[in-house]
């Protein structure tokens, strides 16, 4: 789960990490009062979306007066911001952060993540901060400083000095960096974060260190013990189908292809996607209905797949071990009663009650093609999706959705 910049900055404040003073608004009309409250004569207006690269996309603007702040807030609020990280459809802007501007001397980079191989929290830092850290990592990886913190020993002063000297800091800045790294490390551990990124970490014109941007990603598997953090979730920033899947306890991930896949078990789901690829197709999603799938949950899964307008054919691949194939068939029939299915369906059922399942599908008025083996199933679904695509001439509006 990702947090917004303003939420991350509030966490930073809680852990003593200096950030610019700012307020969030949801309407342009509220912007003028916020400017008065913050004081000063210039403000930074920042679109709040779960994607970086806002600066280059017009989502971070330095406004010269109150009217300009209001104008920028009006332009951004309600719009979708497309950045190089947001995907082509962009993300909706429903909140805008207004901050006091900072006079920047240098832009640095500092982040924390988990180094799984080393079993340590890893600090990464670079003197080349700001908007192009990806290019630094790709072209000059030696300019990225790394220190790994031993969980029992904690962050050591020599590690702070290594980062500080690598960043070209001096004097009191070294102690400031130590306090900042200490706060970030405590935040990272206490919140069960998976990533904390400060880009840029700036040296201000007066020589102080300040976190100008803040990004916090949390480990979903630890959210059960962070109710307060969980409540910061912004579903509007998340893939709608993935959020719906989560509510039904389905493991669903959107992909770029056009073959919907309904599979039980993560391993079989991965193998199914490989197989579809091998036979020249492209999966529209990863979907694991889980071991304890009920007919109702399968129906939800099926509806979810069909709600994706990209889907040209659906492959159902079930190995009935714990899950019974007749329940899966019941779920499919139930889903199809509720939504119109405009795409071909290929089903491979194997294992417990497979015969009953196949008989139920055959008895329904569904145009289902069955396959006896995985290879046959992949072959059939790839051919079906290609035929479907050709027959509708790439018209995105006619999919299998309701
Ligand atoms: P991102 O592009 O989504 O990562 O958004 P950032 O919050 O990192 O802002 C992008 C860039 O805008 C920063 O790298 C800065 O160069 C610039 N910027 C942001 N806030 C200020 C500010 O208060 N003063 C100045 N001069 N530049 C700022
Ligand atoms: Mn940034």
Distance in angstroms (rounded) separating the CA atoms of residues 172 and 174: 5
**Is 60 exceeded by the pLDDT of residue 3?**
yes
pLDDT of residue 248: 86
Distance in angstroms (rounded) separating the CA atoms of residues 385 and 396: 14
Lowest mean pLDDT, pick from 38-42, 51-55, 198-202, 363-367: 363-367
pLDDT, tens only, 217-243: 999 999 999 999 999 999 899 888 888
- Is the CB of residue 213 below 6 angstroms from any atom belonging to ligand 1? yes
Highest average pLDDT, of 174-183, 283-292, 356-365, comes from 174-183
pLDDT band at residue 119, thresholds of 50, 70 and 90? very high
Burial class (CB in 10 A: 0-12, 13-18, 19+), 39: exposed
Q: Which ligand has the minimum distance to the alpha carbon of residue 197?
A: 2
Which sequence positions are flagged as catalytic? 109, 197
pLDDT of residue 32: 96
The CATH label, of 3.40.50.1240, 3.90.79.10, 3.30.1490.20, 1.10.20.140, for the domain at 20-101 is 3.30.1490.20
pLDDT, tens only, 256-270: 899 999 998 899 999
pLDDT of residue 342: 84
Each residue of 61-86: b (16+ CB within 10 Å) or e?
bebeebebbbbbbebbbebebbbeeb
The CATH number given to 103-237 is: 3.30.470.20
pLDDT of residue 4: 98
The ligand 1 atom nearest the CA atom of 213 = 7
pLDDT, tens only, 71-83: 999 999 999 999 9
Which of 213, 214, 216, 237 has most ligand 1 atoms within 8 Å of CB, for mutation? 213
pLDDT of residue 241: 86
- Is there a contact between 203 and 173 (Cβ–Cβ < 8 Å)? yes
Lowest mean pLDDT, pick from 85-89, 281-285, 371-375: 85-89
Mean pLDDT of the residues in the chain? 92
**Is 70 exceeded by the pLDDT of residue 397?**
no
Question: What integer is the mean pLDDT of 49-63?
Answer: 96
| Cβ partners under 8 Å of residue 365, min gap 6 | none
Answer whether CATH 3.40.50.261 is correct for domain 239-391: yes
Which of 19, 52, 60, 64 has most ligand 1 atoms within 8 Å of CB, for mutation? 60
Q: Which two tokens stand for residue 301?
A: 């899964």
Cα(first)–Cα(last) distance of the chain, in Å?
29
Around 136, how many Cα atoms within 13 Å sit in the side-chain half-sphere? Answer: 17
pLDDT, tens only, 268-279: 999 999 999 999
pLDDT band at residue 53, thresholds of 50, 70 and 90? very high
Which of 200, 214, 216 has most ligand 1 atoms within 8 Å of CB, for mutation? 200
Domain residue ranges in the chain: 20-101, 103-237, 239-391
- Is there a contact between 253 and 242 (Cβ–Cβ < 8 Å)? yes
**Is 80 exceeded by the pLDDT of residue 195?**
yes
Beta bridge partners of 368: 345
pLDDT band at residue 364, thresholds of 50, 70 and 90? confident
Question: What integer is the mean pLDDT of 32-54?
Answer: 97
pLDDT, tens only, 129-179: 876 788 888 888 888 999 999 999 999 999 999 999 999 999 999 999 999
- Is the CB of residue 53 below 6 angstroms from any atom belonging to ligand 1? yes
The torsion angle over the Cα atoms of residues 326, 327, 329 and 333, rounded to 10 degrees, is 130
Question: What integer is the mean pLDDT of 275-302?
Answer: 89
pLDDT of residue 131: 63
Question: What integer is the mean pLDDT of 185-207?
Answer: 97
Q: Whose CA is nearest to atom 10 of ligand 1?
A: 55
pLDDT of residue 393: 63
Q: Which two tokens stand for residue 253?
A: 């991930």
- Is there a contact between 193 and 184 (Cβ–Cβ < 8 Å)? no
- Tell me how far the alpha carbon of residue 60 lies from the centroid of ligand 1, in angstroms: 6
- Is the CB of residue 195 below 6 angstroms from any atom belonging to ligand 1? no
By percentage, how much of the chain surpasses pLDDT 90?
Answer: 74
- Is the CB of residue 54 below 6 angstroms from any atom belonging to ligand 1? yes
Query: Residues 141, 145, 147, CA angle at the centre, nearest 5°?
Result: 130
More confident residue, 281 or 340: 281
- Is the CB of residue 60 below 6 angstroms from any atom belonging to ligand 1? yes
pLDDT band at residue 359, thresholds of 50, 70 and 90? very high
| Cβ partners under 8 Å of residue 299, min gap 6 | 331, 332, 334, 335, 338
- Is the CB of residue 198 below 6 angstroms from any atom belonging to ligand 1? no
By percentage, how much of the chain surpasses pLDDT 70?
Answer: 97
Kindly report the pTM of this predicted structure. Answer: 0.80
Around 314, how many Cα atoms within 13 Å sit in the side-chain half-sphere? Answer: 28
């Amino acid at each position: 789960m990702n947090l917004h910049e303003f939420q991350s900055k509030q966490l930073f404040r809680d852990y003593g990490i200096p950030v610019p003073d700012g307020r969030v608004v949801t309407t342009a009309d509220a912007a003028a009062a916020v400017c008065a409250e913050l004081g000063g004569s210039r403000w930074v207006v920042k679109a709040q979306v779960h994607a970086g690269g806002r600066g280059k996309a017009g989502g971070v603007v330095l406004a010269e007066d109150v009217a300009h702040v209001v104008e920028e807030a009006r332009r951004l609020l309600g719009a979708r911001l497309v950045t190089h990280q947001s995907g082509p459809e962009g993300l909706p802007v429903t909140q805008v952060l207004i901050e006091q501007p900072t006079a920047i001397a240098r832009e640095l980079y500092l982040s924390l993540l988990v180094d799984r191989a080393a079993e340590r929290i890893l600090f990464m830092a670079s003197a080349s901060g700001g908007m192009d850290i990806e290019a630094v990592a790709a072209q000059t990886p030696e300019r990225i400083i790394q220190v790994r913190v031993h969980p029992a020993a904690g962050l050591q002063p020599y590690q702070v000095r290594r980062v500080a000297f690598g960043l070209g800091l001096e004097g009191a800045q070294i102690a400031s960096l130590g306090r900042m790294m200490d706060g970030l490390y405590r935040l990272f551990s206490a919140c069960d974060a998976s990533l904390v990124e400060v880009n840029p970490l700036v040296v201000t014109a007066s020589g102080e260190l300040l976190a100008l941007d803040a990004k916090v990603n949390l480990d979903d598997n630890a959210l059960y013990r962070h109710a307060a953090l969980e409540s910061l979730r912004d579903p509007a920033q998340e893939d709608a189908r993935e959020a719906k899947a989560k509510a039904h306890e389905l493991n669903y991930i959107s992909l770029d292809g056009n073959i919907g896949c309904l599979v039980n078990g993560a391993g079989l789901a991965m193998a199914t996607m490989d197989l579809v690829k091998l036979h020249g197709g492209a999966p529209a999603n990863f979907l694991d209905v889980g071991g304890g799938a009920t007919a109702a949950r399968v129906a939800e899964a099926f509806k979810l797949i069909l709600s994706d307008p990209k889907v040209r054919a659906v492959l159902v691949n079930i190995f009935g071990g714990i899950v019974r194939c007749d329940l899966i068939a019941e779920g499919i029939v139930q889903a199809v009663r509720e939504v119109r299915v405009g795409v071909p369906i290929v089903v491979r059922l194997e294992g417990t009650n497979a015969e009953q399942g196949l008989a139920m599908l055959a008895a329904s008025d569904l145009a289902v093609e069955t396959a006896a083996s995985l290879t046959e199933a992949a072959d059939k679904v790839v051919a079906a999706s290609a035929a479907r695509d050709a027959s509708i001439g790439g018209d995105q509006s006619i999919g299998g959705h309701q």
